[in-house]
């Protein structure tokens, strides 16, 4: 019974992350100008942040769907909203950050990320265009170089493939 419930929760989590990522892609497409600026249909999109073509054939590798360490779906940097990519760059540079809460400890009270000692995770705001508040989008960074994205204020996460 418990295994079925856990499986159901994981399926809902994966579906929600998919919806969040798809929404980000559509919003990015719309803010880029929509169909008049879209690439021709026969042009293959490439990204320097995507995994090697062979990684999709190795279970649990970035690009194959699920991170074996966290059990969370992978999300490519290129698939994140542009504001999330900006936040990742700011994290790499050590700031500046817009909100005083950025860089503070993320408690993982939802227990959706791998269990680590308190202080392992820090959180950063991903600005939401048009929002007058911090919004619901965050990047959570682990001391080990692991990064996670949530578009719904910690209800669902995806492991960022960097």
> 124 pairs with which residues across the strands?
139
Half-sphere exposure for 148 (CA within 13 Å, toward CB) = 30
- Annotated catalytic residue, options 11, 110, 123, 143: 123
Contact 129, 83 (CB under 8 A): yes
- Annotated catalytic residue, options 11, 110, 143, 153: 153
104-105 sheet: strands from edge to edge: 74-76, 158-161, 147-150, 138-142, 121-125, 104-105
Q: Does 153 qualify as catalytic in the annotation?
A: yes
Structure-token pair, residue 57 = 């054939």
Catalytic residues: 123, 153
């Amino acid at each position: 019974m418990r295994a079925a419930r856990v499986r159901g929760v994981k399926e809902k989590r994966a579906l929600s992350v998919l919806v969040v990522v798809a929404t980000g892609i559509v919003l990015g497409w719309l803010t880029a100008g929509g169909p008049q600026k879209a690439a021709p249909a026969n042009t293959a999109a490439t990204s320097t942040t995507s995994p090697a073509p062979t990684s999709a054939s190795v279970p649990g590798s970035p690009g194959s769907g699920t991170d074996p360490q966290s059990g969370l779906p992978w999300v490519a940097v290129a698939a994140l909203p542009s504001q999330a990519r900006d936040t990742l760059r700011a994290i790499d540079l050590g700031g500046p950050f817009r909100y005083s809460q950025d860089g503070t400890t993320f408690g993982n009270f939802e227990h959706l990320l791998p269990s680590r000692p308190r202080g392992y995770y820090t959180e950063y705001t991903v600005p939401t265009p048009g929002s007058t508040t911090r919004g619901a989008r965050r990047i959570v960074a682990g001391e080990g170089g692991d990064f996670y994205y949530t578009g719904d204020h910690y209800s669902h996460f995806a492991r960022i493939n960097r």
